[in-house]
Amino acid sequence: MEYQIKLEAIALKVVVIKSPRFLSGILRMVFKIKKEEGTE
């Protein structure tokens, strides 16, 4: 289980390095969801 988590963390770092636009898009989605939940 721990080994799989480490692989996912490494994969996430690769995604961040190779496609920051993709990550920023996810962050925007998350922030929009959080803002919508906060206003309700």
For range 9-37, the mean pLDDT: 79
Which tops the pLDDT comparison, 23 or 8? 8
Number of domains in the chain: 1
How does DSSP assign 24-35, residue by residue? HHHHHHHHHHHH
Segments forming the whole domain that contains residue 11: 2-39
Q: What is the pLDDT of residue 22?
A: 79
Whole-model pTM: value is 0.37
Distance CA 26, CA 10 (A): 18
In which band, very low, low, confident or very high, does the pLDDT at 40 lie, cut at 50, 70 and 90? Answer: low
In which band, very low, low, confident or very high, does the pLDDT at 38 lie, cut at 50, 70 and 90? Answer: low
Q: Are 23 and 15 in contact (CB under 8 A)?
A: yes
Residue 36 has pLDDT above 60, yes or no: yes
Q: What is the pLDDT of residue 39?
A: 64
